[in-house]
Structure 1
Amino acid sequence: MPLQSIAAAFQRHFGHEPLLVRAPGRVNLIGEHTDYNGGFVLPAAIDKEIYFAVALNGSTTARLHSYDLDESYTTEIANIQRDDTQWANYLKGVVAQFQKLGIEVPGFDCMFGGNIPIGAGLSSSAAVECGLGFALNELLGTNINRMDLAKMGQQAEHEYAGVRSGLMDQFASLFGRPGNVVRLDCRSLDYEYFPFSTEACHIVLCNSGVKHALASSEYNTRREECEQGVAILQKHYPHLSIKTLRDVTREQVETHRTELGDVVYRRCRYVVEENARVESACNHLLQGDLRAFGQDMYGSHAGLRDDYEVSCRELDTLVDTAKALPGVFGARMMGGGFGGCTINLVAVDQVDSFVEAMTQAYQDKLQLTLETYKTTIVGGVEAVAGEMVK
């Protein structure tokens, strides 16, 4: 078990007993690029996780170690700032959020590692932020609630990684519940759990294996394009409280199509339609109608491909291939785009043949090797008792 290895390595490296924490990655069944537009998302925490061993060390220094990279990094807590060691930036960003709240963070030792594939769009960075935030909250007894820990992780991502992510990734890592997906209203931060039975279907992820260089810059560009749309619509509806695209109707977007311009119009149309798909999909879950849920997934992918323009040849090939296979309820690209994974809902008795067929087709069509992950929905970030890992 990776946590056992990390616990043992911590004691060898630092020489004392740590607090052990597991922080899951996430999938998002539907609701992509809606979170920073104040909309709905439908994520779940999964059994691809980052494991932490953390302890206070009685000094003024943070001693950080990446188990997977076998790299160490040391910094004075009083002098936390971004630099070129990207993996350490995520951790330092979390420390900075505690300091912003006026909490004095003493020196600590931290070792972390896990089995979330990097670059697959499963939110390894959010798991890192939330795992350390949770651990420090426990060790310092600061009693920060989970929603505030999620916001602190998000701010760390903004300020220290330079990615203006929404709240979904951190929220899903902290609020996951076994056997459930959770719909988050990113405007009000209300949330509701929906049962997701893994007896009827399994979640299988297909990793395109590509991470196009466009991803981060285009993500920020999409945010700006949505903000442009909001600014234009605000001028026409000053009496309405339009703050994000969540506050906008499809009719309003259509009415001002010309002024919005083709690109911003399509970005806005996608977000408004995707919010409606999340609500529709949740109703299908309550009715146990996975086929109808899957149709919303296909609609989501088409919108991401054509209107939001964040898909790529590899993702489109994976979704088109999956759609034609037996036992597949739905499939779509997941995450920021330009690479990463597709998420597929597959009948339990068809999972093995699905993986085999997808792997062969990806090789035949694109001459690329496909990695697949069968995932289980798990609970959110938690401390793990030492005896559980022995």
Structure 2
Amino acid sequence: MHDTEALQAKFFWFSPGDMTDVRQFFAPGRVNLIGEHIDYNGGHVFPAALTRGVSLWVRPRADGVVRFFSVDFPETIEARVDELEFRPSDGYANYTKGVIKAVQEEAGTLFCGGDFFYMSNLANGAGLSSSAAVEVVTAAAVRALMAYPLDNARIAVLSQRAENDFVGVNCGIMDQFAVAMGKAGHAIFLDCQTLAYEWVPVTLGDYALVITNTNERRGLADSKYNERRSECEAALRRIQEILPDIQNLTQISIDRWDDVETHLASEPNLLRRARHVVFEEHRTNEAVRVLKAGRLAAFGQLMNDSHVSLRDDYEVTGPALDALAEAAWSFSGCLGSRMTGAGFGGCTVSLVRRAAIPEFEEHVRVAYADKTGLQPSFYVSEIGDGVHEQQKEGLEV
């Protein structure tokens, strides 16, 4: 955790002045409970916003200059609002520049400028959507300073557009939507094709969600993400030869799977990718149904099945995530555990009996270290609200 006084001192070093015009915003990270790697295949996902995330302090300017500083990086990035361009050396600030450009295009007018100061209590590279949180919190701040009427769902769409078109990462809508539209105590059952959604109460009783970080660098995540997306597109084209009416893999019903399997028999890679998507869509719908019915054990089993599919059919887990999941599965007070996010490092999410969390953490720590030589990090996840402006009573972390 960051020291509040030190942060305030750093902010005033970055952006001198009084407090009267400084505004504060917060956007959470997210955890996806189930429905992995199907947002870009037009399916349903089931994410929830966290109470951890990215805080932003912003001071408006009148000169059309935007300046960005993050406590996690040493340099200040500066640009003009009428000259926002992607520069590899600007790192995270490309996400913020892309969002400002997208909001300006939507509004049809230029932003006045501002000093943007970011801090996060999300682990970098953990797969909890810190980049989406940075995008969405920036969009919310620009919306407020421009007094331009954008609802949070539109903020999600513009943030995704910035990541796709400005940064060049071909992500789906799930992360930005969860970060923008989260609701405390609820997960979002989201149709990624239509953006129709339902807030579903997450009532866990004696259980809690425990997020465990592999603390492994996620070096393959971006390249493998794009590779899997291309494989899904190739599988869809092949399947449309026998099912011409489908537009997305998630529209394939379970009872048509035998036909698909036969058709793709000569292309085992495409077969495995399609099988994950088709059955993960089914698991996600089933997970919402059993959670609404209070059947936590059934929900946990679906989490386990999801991880196995991501390991065997989609091949995006890797030894560290598998070691974490297997350690969780072997603990009697855990109902289910699965990777969450893009994979190849990052985090698992587990459904654990609250009273047994200390024992769960020790059990997983020992088993994981034995297999990988790495030390995991844990935190119990409460489900929080999406992006919002914070009331200003002095600068708050």
**TM value normalised by structure 2:** 0.93
Following superposition, the deviation at residue 8 of structure 1 comes to 5.5
Following superposition, the deviation at residue 310 of structure 1 comes to 0.6
Following superposition, the deviation at residue 143 of structure 1 comes to 0.7
Secondary structure at the residue paired with 2:383?
coil
- The residue number in structure 2 matching 1:281 is 287
The CA deviation string for residues 224-274 of structure 1, in whole angstroms up to 9 with x for no partner, is 111112112223333x2x221122223444314354311111111110100
1:228 and 2:234 equivalent?
yes
Secondary structure at the residue paired with 1:31?
coil
Following superposition, the deviation at residue 350 of structure 1 comes to 0.6
- The residue number in structure 1 matching 2:82 is 78
- The residue number in structure 1 matching 2:123 is 117
Secondary structure at the residue paired with 2:342?
coil
Secondary structure at the residue paired with 2:110?
coil
Following superposition, the deviation at residue 4 of structure 1 comes to 5.0
Asked if 1 retains the 8 angstrom alpha-carbon contact of 2:15 and 2:59, the reply is no
Asked if 2 retains the 8 angstrom alpha-carbon contact of 1:7 and 1:53, the reply is no
Following superposition, the deviation at residue 368 of structure 1 comes to 1.3
1:345 and 2:351 equivalent?
yes
The residue identity in structure 2 corresponding to 1:350 is A
Asked if 1 retains the 8 angstrom alpha-carbon contact of 2:239 and 2:263, the reply is no
**TM value normalised by structure 1:** 0.95
Q: Which of residues 264, 267, 289 is equivalent to 2:270?
A: 264
- The residue number in structure 2 matching 1:103 is 109
- The residue number in structure 2 matching 1:32 is 36
Matches within 5 A, 1:51-66: 51-66=55-70
The CA deviation string for residues 300-324 of structure 1, in whole angstroms up to 9 with x for no partner, is 0010000001110111111111111
- The residue number in structure 1 matching 2:22 is 18
Following superposition, the deviation at residue 104 of structure 1 comes to 1.4
- The residue number in structure 2 matching 1:41 is 45
Of 30-39 and 211-220, deviating more is 211-220
Q: What is the CA–CA distance in structure 2 between the aligned matches of 1:12 and 1:212, rounded to whole Å? A: 33
Q: What is the CA–CA distance in structure 2 between the aligned matches of 1:176 and 1:325, rounded to whole Å? A: 30
Q: What is the CA–CA distance in structure 2 between the aligned matches of 1:153 and 1:217, rounded to whole Å? A: 21
The residue identity in structure 1 corresponding to 2:54 is I
- The residue number in structure 2 matching 1:141 is 147
Q: Which of residues 246, 250, 254 is equivalent to 2:250?
A: 246
Q: What is the CA–CA distance in structure 2 between the aligned matches of 1:232 and 1:165, rounded to whole Å? A: 23
Secondary structure at the residue paired with 1:110?
strand
Asked if 2 retains the 8 angstrom alpha-carbon contact of 1:45 and 1:380, the reply is yes
- The residue number in structure 2 matching 1:178 is 184
Of 116-125 and 358-367, deviating more is 358-367
Q: What is the CA–CA distance in structure 1 between the aligned matches of 2:3 and 2:182, rounded to whole Å? A: 19
Asked if 2 retains the 8 angstrom alpha-carbon contact of 1:226 and 1:267, the reply is yes
Structure 2 unmatched ranges of 5 or more: none
Q: Which of residues 65, 85, 88 is equivalent to 2:93?
A: 88
Of 1-10 and 91-100, deviating more is 1-10
Q: Which of residues 122, 127, 135 is equivalent to 1:129?
A: 135
Secondary structure at the residue paired with 1:199?
coil
Of 159-168 and 279-288, deviating more is 159-168
- The residue number in structure 2 matching 1:219 is 225
Asked if 1 retains the 8 angstrom alpha-carbon contact of 2:82 and 2:110, the reply is no
Q: What is the CA–CA distance in structure 2 between the aligned matches of 1:335 and 1:24, rounded to whole Å? A: 15
The residue identity in structure 2 corresponding to 1:93 is G
Q: What is the CA–CA distance in structure 1 between the aligned matches of 2:157 and 2:109, rounded to whole Å? A: 16
Of 209-218 and 342-351, deviating more is 209-218
Q: Which of residues 309, 321, 325 is equivalent to 2:315?
A: 309
Asked if 1 retains the 8 angstrom alpha-carbon contact of 2:68 and 2:117, the reply is yes
Q: What is the CA–CA distance in structure 2 between the aligned matches of 1:12 and 1:367, rounded to whole Å? A: 41
Matches within 5 A, 1:352-371: 352-371=358-377
Alpha-carbon RMSD: 1.7
Following superposition, the deviation at residue 81 of structure 1 comes to 0.7
Of 91-100 and 191-200, deviating more is 191-200
The residue identity in structure 1 corresponding to 2:98 is G
1:150 and 2:151 equivalent?
no
Secondary structure at the residue paired with 1:49?
strand
- The residue number in structure 2 matching 1:330 is 336
Q: What is the CA–CA distance in structure 1 between the aligned matches of 2:294 and 2:3, rounded to whole Å? A: 36
Structure 1 unmatched ranges of 5 or more: none
The residue identity in structure 2 corresponding to 1:358 is V
- The residue number in structure 2 matching 1:160 is 166
